[in-house]
C-alpha cells in the first residue's frame, strides 16, 4: 500500500510538472479549469491529441464511477447494519448478496447531480465532501487512540501524531481555498453534509443508542 501510494503520488507530481512546462500559469488558471489535460495536450501536440486525451479521461472517469458503484452501496449496507440507516438498506439480492436497496438511492442521487450541475461543479462539490470525510476518518485515529488505548493495533501509524495532524491541516487548507474560490459549490457541499446530521441522531435514538461516538 505504501509503495502504491508513493507511485501514484510521484505520477501526480510528474504530471503537474508537465502541465507547468507546457503552458503558463495564466493559461492553466483560465476557465474552464477542469480540462487541464486537454489544454496541455492541445498546446503541446495539437487538437487531435487533445481529443484523444479527452477520450482517455472519459474511460478513466468511467472506471472510477464503476468502483464507486461497487463500494458506495456497501457503505450504506454497513451503516444500516450498525443502525445508522433504515433496515431496508440491509435487503440484498438472493443469489449474490448484492445490496439492491442501497444501489437504487445512490443511482437516483447521482442522476440528480449529473442533471443539475456542470462537470467542473460536480468535481469541486464532491471533492469538498471527500476531503472533509477523509479528514474526519484520519481524525478518528487520534480519537480512538485516546478513548480505546487498550485495543490491539497490528498496523501502527508512523510519526504519530505528526502524520494525522498534518493531513487534517492540509485538508483544512484545501477546503478553505475551495471555499474562497467556489463559495456556491462549498455551500451546497456543507448543506449536503449537514442534512445527514439530523438523520444520524434520529437513527441513534430509534435504536436506543446515545449520540456519542
pLDDT digits 0-9 by tens, 49-83: 888 888 888 888 777 777 777 788 888 888 888 88
What pLDDT does 6 receive? Answer: 92
Instruction: Answer whether residue 2 is part of any domain.
Output: no
What pLDDT does 209 receive? Answer: 55
CA distance 117 to 123: 10
**In a shared domain, residues 172 and 208:** yes
Domain stop point among 59, 87, 116:
116
The answer to whether residue 86 scores a pLDDT higher than 90 is: no
* CB contact burial 197-208 (16+ within 10 A = b; e otherwise): eeeeeebbeeee
Q: At a CB cut-off of 8 Å and minimum separation 6, what does 186 contact?
A: 124, 128, 175, 178, 179
Instruction: Answer whether residue 3 is part of any domain.
Output: no
- What's the mean pLDDT when you consider all of the chain? 82
**In a shared domain, residues 109 and 38:** yes
**In a shared domain, residues 110 and 122:** no
**In a shared domain, residues 101 and 124:** no
**In a shared domain, residues 126 and 161:** yes
Instruction: Answer whether residue 206 is part of any domain.
Output: yes
Q: Which residue has the cell 484545501?
A: 174
CA distance 72 to 109: 12
127-145, pLDDT tens digit by residue? 888 899 899 999 988 898 8
Report yes or no: 100 and 89 within 8 Å, Cβ to Cβ.
no
CA distance 47 to 38: 9
**In a shared domain, residues 38 and 102:** yes
**In a shared domain, residues 92 and 82:** yes
The total number of structural domains that make up the chain: 2
**In a shared domain, residues 101 and 130:** no
Task: Name the DSSP class of 96.
Answer: T
CA distance 145 to 150: 9
Confidence of residue 34 (pLDDT cuts 50, 70, 90): low
Instruction: Answer whether residue 7 is part of any domain.
Output: no
- Give the domain range for residue 92: 19-116
**In a shared domain, residues 31 and 105:** yes
Judged by average pLDDT, the poorest of 29-43, 105-119, 124-138, 167-181 is 29-43
pTM of the complete model: 0.70
**In a shared domain, residues 133 and 199:** yes
Instruction: Answer whether residue 8 is part of any domain.
Output: no
**In a shared domain, residues 81 and 158:** no
What pLDDT does 213 receive? Answer: 41
**In a shared domain, residues 112 and 147:** no
Instruction: Answer whether residue 179 is part of any domain.
Output: yes
Amino acid at each position: 500500500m505504501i509503495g502504491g501510494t508513493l507511485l501514484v503520488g510521484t505520477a501526480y507530481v510528474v504530471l503537474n510538472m508537465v502541465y507547468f512546462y507546457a503552458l503558463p500559469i495564466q493559461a492553466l488558471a483560465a476557465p474552464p479549469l477542469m480540462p487541464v489535460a486537454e489544454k496541455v495536450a492541445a498546446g503541446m501536440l495539437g487538437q487531435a491529441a487533445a481529443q484523444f486525451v479527452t477520450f482517455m479521461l472519459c474511460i478513466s472517469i468511467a472506471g472510477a464511477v464503476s468502483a464507486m458503484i461497487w463500494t458506495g452501496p456497501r457503505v450504506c449496507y454497513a451503516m444500516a447494519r450498525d443502525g445508522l440507516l433504515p433496515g431496508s438498506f440491509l435487503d440484498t439480492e438472493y443469489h449474490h448478496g448484492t445490496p439492491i436497496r442501497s444501489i437504487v438511492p445512490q443511482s437516483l442521487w447521482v442522476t440528480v447531480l449529473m442533471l443539475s450541475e456542470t462537470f467542473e461543479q460536480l468535481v469541486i462539490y464532491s471533492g469538498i465532501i471527500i476531503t472533509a470525510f477523509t479528514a474526519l476518518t484520519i481524525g478518528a485515529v487520534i480519537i480512538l487512540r485516546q478513548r480505546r488505548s487498550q485495543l490491539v493495533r497490528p498496523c501502527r501509524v508512523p510519526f504519530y501524531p505528526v502524520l494525522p495532524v498534518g493531513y487534517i491541516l492540509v485538508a483544512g487548507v484545501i477546503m478553505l481555498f475551495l471555499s474562497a474560490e467556489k463559495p456556491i459549490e462549498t455551500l451546497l457541499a456543507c448543506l449536503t453534509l449537514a442534512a445527514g446530521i439530523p438523520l444520524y441522531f434520529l437513527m441513534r435514538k430509534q435504536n436506543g443508542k446515545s449520540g456519542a461516538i
